[in-house]
Amino acid sequence: MGPRTSGRSAAAAVVVLVLAALLGSAYALGRSLVPDEPRPGATNTATRTEYADQPAPSPSDARPSAGPSRDGAVADQDAERQHATDGGDGLFGSRVTTGSRRVALTFDDGPNPDYTPQVLDVLREFGVRATFCVVGENAQNHPQLIRAIVADGHTLCNHSWRHDVQLGLRSPDLIRADLLRTNAAIRAAVPDAPIAWYRQPGGAWTYPVVSVAEGLGMTPLHWNVDPSDWEAPGALRIATMVTRTATAGSVVLLHDAGGDRQGTVDALRHMLPELTSRFELEALPVDGTT
Ligand SMILES: [Zn+2]
């Protein structure tokens, strides 16, 4: 290698180094410009604490549940993996949007004597109807709240007997018995109440649970906006996340039970003025179609 060649190589090396430095800083700049904002249906894992290490259940992971889990916690990994939150079909054909431009607020895990009446009050104040995904044993314990939900024109949704996030891994007979027991508790409070929707706890859908729910005349209902309100991040954060990410057709996941839900109640007062000005909010139709 002569001096001429080596000079050219050195120059080329300098160019490569300069380019690498430029690309590196551009990459760093780009990273810093990306807003650290959760996407609809997905969750910023950095904000997860309580369930950060909880894996999504799958047929190969049939460990018993540690107890009730909020719905967004388990579903996120599956939803991200399957790109189910972009407005199309969800996992195993579950619904993630309303199918129209209308937006649906959904309240899970109740009814609860502390928070469900407050949620009903705020919704009434704003003239909004919503959908309540109720847990069977809570319906049995608080039939008057099931009656209050129906009396205000909201839609009921079956959310399993005791919020079993592993329900989808059980036999079709057990799944069916669980869903029927829940519907029976709802109808003990409101005979002939239409129950056209089923939401799997944790969003942990499986083919058997979808199949059984549909066989019982219930449409599987997922969501595409999840402010992780069950983590109690504060009313403003919940409200801001919903108003920033809701789009036409969104199904918004909220909770009126399962912990201190005062933040969710207060978030409604923050978000409903804007949401009602931008969208028509609907209780999901009781015939399961839109
Ligand atoms: Zn739930």
Confidence of residue 288 (pLDDT cuts 50, 70, 90): low
169-204 pLDDT, tens digit each: 999 999 999 999 999 999 999 999 999 999 999 999
Query: Could you confirm whether 108 is annotated as catalytic?
Result: yes
Task: Calculate how far, in angstroms, residue 122's C-alpha sits from the geometric centre of ligand 1.
Answer: 21
What is the pLDDT at residue 73? 72
How is residue 60 written in tokens? 């190969």
How is residue 212 written in tokens? 């059984």
Residue 90 has pLDDT above 90, yes or no: no
71 CB-near residues (< 8 Å, 6+ apart): 108, 109, 199, 201, 202, 203, 223, 226, 230, 253, 255
Do 288 and 217 contact (CB within 8 A), yes or no?
Answer: yes
What is the pLDDT at residue 91? 84
| Lowest model confidence (mean pLDDT) among 111-115, 179-183, 255-259, 283-287 | 283-287
Task: Calculate how far, in angstroms, residue 99's C-alpha sits from the geometric centre of ligand 1.
Answer: 22
Task: Calculate how far, in angstroms, residue 101's C-alpha sits from the geometric centre of ligand 1.
Answer: 25
Query: Could you confirm whether 270 is annotated as catalytic?
Result: no
Catalytic residue among 142, 154, 159, 255: 255
| Average pLDDT score, the chain | 80
What is the pLDDT at residue 281? 98
Count the neighbouring beta carbons within 10 Å of the beta carbon of residue 81: 10
Catalytic residue among 71, 76, 78, 108: 108
Q: Give the bridge partners for 198, in sequence order.
A: 158, 220
Tell the residue number behind the tokens 């609809």, with chain if given: 40
Task: Calculate how far, in angstroms, residue 160's C-alpha sits from the geometric centre of ligand 1.
Answer: 9
**Residue whose C-alpha is closest to residue 194's, from 58, 286, 82, 90:** 286
- CB neighbour class for 39 (10 Å; exposed up to 12, middle 13-18, buried from 19): middle
| Lowest model confidence (mean pLDDT) among 8-12, 114-118, 284-288 | 8-12
Task: Calculate how far, in angstroms, residue 290's C-alpha sits from the geometric centre of ligand 1.
Answer: 23
Task: Calculate how far, in angstroms, residue 201's C-alpha sits from the geometric centre of ligand 1.
Answer: 5
* Phi and psi at residue 88, to the nearest 5°: -90, -155
Please report, rounded to a whole number, the percentage of residues in the chain having pLDDT higher than 90: 67
Q: Please tell me whether the peptide bond between 111 and the residue prior to it is cis, using omega within 30 degrees of 0.
A: yes
Task: Calculate how far, in angstroms, residue 287's C-alpha sits from the geometric centre of ligand 1.
Answer: 22
Which protein residues have a CB closer than 5 Å to ligand 1 (ion)?
71, 108-109, 201
Rg (CA), the chain: 23
Give the ranges where 34-159 is alpha helix by DSSP (H): 71-82, 116-125, 136-141, 143-151
- What pTM, to 2 d.p., does this model score? 0.74
Region 219-239: mean pLDDT is 97
Task: Calculate how far, in angstroms, residue 13's C-alpha sits from the geometric centre of ligand 1.
Answer: 58
Task: Calculate how far, in angstroms, residue 108's C-alpha sits from the geometric centre of ligand 1.
Answer: 5
What is the pLDDT at residue 123? 98
Please report, rounded to a whole number, the percentage of residues in the chain having pLDDT higher than 70: 70
How is residue 120 written in tokens? 């009903």
Q: How far apart are CA 176 and CA 197, in angstroms?
A: 14
145-163 pLDDT, tens digit each: 999 999 999 999 999 999 9
Confidence of residue 72 (pLDDT cuts 50, 70, 90): confident
What is the pLDDT at residue 49? 26
4-46 pLDDT, tens digit each: 544 555 555 544 444 444 444 444 433 333 333 333 433 333 3
